[in-house]
Chains A and B, each alone.
Chain A
Amino acid sequence: MTDTPQDLPEGASKRLAELEHGLFTSDLSVNEFLLIKEVGFHPLGFVMGSSIYHTGIQTRKWGQSQELTKLTEAMYNARELAMTRMEEEAAELGADGVVGVRLDVNYYEWGKDAAEFIAVGTAVKAENGVSYRNKLGKPFTSDLSGQDFWTLMQTGHIPQGLVMGTCVYHIAHRGIGQTLGSAGQNVELPNFTQALYEARELAMTRMQDEANQLDASGIVGVRLEEKSHQWGSHTIEFLSLGTAVVKTSGEVTLPAPTTIISLDN
């Protein structure tokens, strides 16, 4: 990314330098901490990245269903910037990856149409000295909790990166009125089915493209969500998110779970 800041803020370098002396910070729970140790990783520090982004405006054609590429790019780039800066912080610490990544958006009164995109997580490093960085030489990122990270490792998979695809789509106004005017029955509107279908597939495909760049063997925990926010009901953002994983061993080593009946409420 060309407009990525070359350097992290001064405060960050200082904080990270302190962490290199053996202290670690993390927002992991004790359970998560112990499970991450269980699979041979050690937490290095709490890392974050931030980007305040102004989303532009794009004119929509009243009667045409189309993707609003400018908005798609805005939504995508803002998150990518925050993620990249977080990865840089992790790389600075010599981490193999970042677990428990959370993405947030903050709005401030001083910024109209602007939002702060934030990514936070805990950088981890393998204790056996082997590099677990992804194909691009960067620390892997994942939104997995400590428990999920442990479970995933038992299946012989290692996370490669949090991957995302998005598509902001505008649905035509014209056409719908015409169809509504005709017969009095509840019938399918094939054009609309197709437009929405296409938009979702675009979001999914972009996510998958990110995974392919990482040579991932798959994406787990895919979520596909949609919402039309400040843009009005005809403009919808489709967002897909998941953790790209690569398979390293053939066997699932999960022990058979014990059946219990809990007396807790």
Chain B
Amino acid sequence: MTGPAPLAADRPDGSAGDATSGDIRKEMLAAAQSLDRSAPSPAAAMTSDLSIDEELTLHSIGWEPIELVYGVSLHSIPMGVWNWGQGEITHASSAFARSFAAATDRIHHECARSGGHGVVGVHVERNVDRHHIGIALTGTAVRPVGAKKLPSADSVFVSDLSGRDFTLLQGSGWMPLGLAAGASFVYAPRRSMGTAMKQTSQNVELTNFTEAMYAARESAMERMQRSALALQGTGVVEVKVTEGPMEFAHHAIGFSAYGTVIRLVAGQHRNLAPRMVLPLDDPVRGVEATALRGA
């Protein structure tokens, strides 16, 4: 086979690459040899669903994962509440609020029991059904490396921010306090047959629709803000909002929002002063192997 070696010689820092790849080789070798030694004590075992990037960034600020934790709660919605009505469907809104609170409470206890000071990367599953609402939270409990003191369930934080976001926030002097959530379910207002007929050929704002939707959205956000204030937060970041008609009752519309409450804990905000990088990546493009076989 012909062809010169790649352009190693032309590289101004060609040797630096070699030196470092030697280091990682030595580490890899040492790591592979360590498997001959017996496993450490079960007490030291941690479980975590963090990616290696998240774990390394947590390490860099002196935190470590300890345990995969979760909290689930389901609350019942009485029969018939989705039938036509007016205003808010309070049974549904309160089932959401109670489920979220109970699931949060459970993940708090799980976290405290495992010795975690908080939970990061919480994955929130919302399941709204005709007769019940379920909330499931899954995340990884973390603590400052080697922290011994067991925290109380009230003092731990729960956050859906990734390990990376937690690291960045912490580096800037902020801390997550907990999850804030709010939901509101409303009936879409009805138009009388007469009104609907009159409006078929007109361009008009359906003011009562506007008002009902607007109010529902506002009250979901307001509930979320109230729970953030209860945690004594200064802000809520990464708020996720879902809204839309219920699959099982198209005349009912649900709004729900949640996000992580944060507060400045350092004396003042610290700037990150990021460096600019110019990446040479494109979105990955490859042969679609399935293309060869047809649809």
What's the Cα separation between A132 and B277 when bound, in Å?
Answer: 33
**Which residues between 88 and 103 of chain A lie within 8 Å of chain B, taking CB atoms?**
100-103
- B294 / chain A contacts, CB cutoff of 8 Å: 105, 107, 115, 229-230
Known: A249-B5, A251-B8, A263-B168. A107 touches B295 (CB 8 A): yes
Q: Does A81 contact B (CB under 8 A)?
A: no
For B25, give the chain A residue with the smallest CB separation: A252
B1 close to A227 (CB less than 8 A): no
**Taking the complex as formed, is A39 at the interface, i.e. its CB lies under 8 A from any CB of chain B?**
yes
Is the beta-carbon distance between B6 and A253 smaller than 8 angstroms?
Answer: yes
For the complex formed, measure the closest distance between the CB of B251 and the CB atoms of chain A, giving whole angstroms: 36
| Interface residues in A196-255 (C-beta closer than 8 Å to B) | 215, 221, 223, 225, 227, 229-230, 237, 239, 241, 246, 248-249, 251-255
> From residue A133, how far is it (CB to closest CB) to chain B in Å?
8
A105 to chain B, nearest CB (A): 5
By the criterion CB–CB under 8 Å, are B6 and A154 in contact? yes
Of B57, B168, B280, B281, most A-chain CB atoms within 10 Å:
B280
Shortest C-beta distance, B17 to chain A (Å), equals: 4
Contact A255 B17 (CB under 8 A): yes
- Asked if A153 contacts B287 (CB within 8 A), the reply is no
Contact B5 A263 (CB under 8 A): no
If A40-B7, A158-B1, A261-B167 touch, whether A229 touches B293 (CB-CB below 8 Å) is yes
Known contacts A105-B291, A107-B294, A253-B17, A145 near B284 by CB under 8 Å: yes
B285 and chain A: residue at smallest CB distance = A145
Measured in the bound complex, the distance between the Cα atoms of B276 and A260 in whole Å is 11
CB distance from A229 to the nearest CB of B (A): 6
- The contact string, 1 if C-beta is below 8 Å from chain B, for chain A 31-63, is 110110011100000000000000000000000
A182 → chain B closest CB, angstroms: 35
Nearest opposing residue in chain A for B272, CB measure: A263
User: B230 on the interface (CB 8 Å rule)?
Assistant: no
Tell me the minimal C-beta distance from A28 to chain B in angstroms. Answer: 9
> Which residues of chain A are within 8 angstroms of B289 by Cβ–Cβ distance?
223, 225, 239, 241
A2 on the B face (CB < 8 A): no
Which residues of chain A are within 8 angstroms of B79 by Cβ–Cβ distance?
A: none
Question: CB distance B6 to A229 under 8 Å?
Answer: no
User: Looking at chain B, what size class is its interface with the partner chain?
Assistant: 35 or more
Q: Do residues B290 and A254 form an inter-chain contact, with CB atoms below 8 A?
A: no
A105 touches B6 (CB 8 A): no
- Smallest distance from the beta carbon of A138 to chain B beta carbons, Å? 14
**Nearest chain B CB to A36 CB, angstrom units:** 11
Which B residue's beta carbon lies closest to that of A104? B291
Q: Which residues of B contact A251 (CB under 8 A)?
A: 5, 8, 18
B292 at the interface (CB under 8 A from A): yes
Beta-carbon contacts under 8 Å, A49-79 to B: 75, 79
Are B287 and A132 in contact, with the CB atoms below 8 A? Answer: no
- For A101, list chain B residues within 8 Å (CB): 287
From residue B90, how far is it (CB to closest CB) to chain A in Å?
36
**Residue in B6, B281, B295 with the greatest tally of chain A CB atoms within 10 Å:** B6
In the complex, A173 has a CB within 8 A of chain B = no
The reply to whether the CB of A183 lies closer than 8 angstroms to some CB of chain B is no
Q: Are B3 and A227 in contact (CB under 8 A)?
A: no
B286 interface contact, C-beta 8 A: yes
When distances are taken between beta carbons in the complex, the residues of chain B under 8 Å from A79 are 292
- Chain A residues, CB < 8 A from B277: 260
Of residues 260 through 295 on chain B, the ones whose CB sits less than 8 Å from some CB of chain A are 272, 274-275, 277, 280-282, 284-295
* Chain B contacts for A174, CB-based, 8 A: none
B33: Cβ under 8 A from any A Cβ: no
Asked whether A147 lies within 8 Å of B280 as measured between CB atoms, the reply is: yes
Are B18 and A253 in touch, CB under 8 angstroms?
yes
Q: Contacts A251-B8, A253-B6, A263-B274 given; indicate if A103 touches B291 (C-beta within 8 A).
A: yes
Q: Which residue among B17, B18, B286, B293 has the maximum number of chain A CB atoms within 10 Å of its CB?
A: B293
Decide if A117 touches B6 in the complex (CB within 8 Å): no
* Min distance, Cβ B29 to any Cβ of chain A, angstroms: 16
Nearest-CB residue, chain A, relative to B280: A31
A135 to B20, CA, bound (A): 34
Query: Are B293 and A105 closer than 8 Å at their CB atoms?
Result: yes
Q: CB within 8 Å of B: which of A102-149?
A: 102-105, 107, 115, 117, 126, 128, 130-132, 135, 143, 145-147
Interface assignment of A256: CB less than 8 Å from any CB of chain B: yes
Q: Is the CB of B287 within 8 A of A249?
A: no
CB-nearest residue of chain A relative to B6? Answer: A153
| Shortest beta-carbon distance from A251 to chain B in Å | 7
Which residues of A150-197 have CB atoms within 8 Å of chain B's CB atoms?
Answer: 153-154, 156, 158, 162, 164, 166
11 A-B interface contacts by CB (under 8 A) = A100-B285, A130-B3, A143-B287, A147-B280, A249-B6, A249-B8, A253-B6, A255-B16, A256-B16, A256-B23, A259-B56
Q: List 7 A-B pairs, minimum CB-CB distance, nearest first.
A: A256-B20, A249-B5, A255-B17, A253-B8, A143-B287, A153-B6, A31-B280
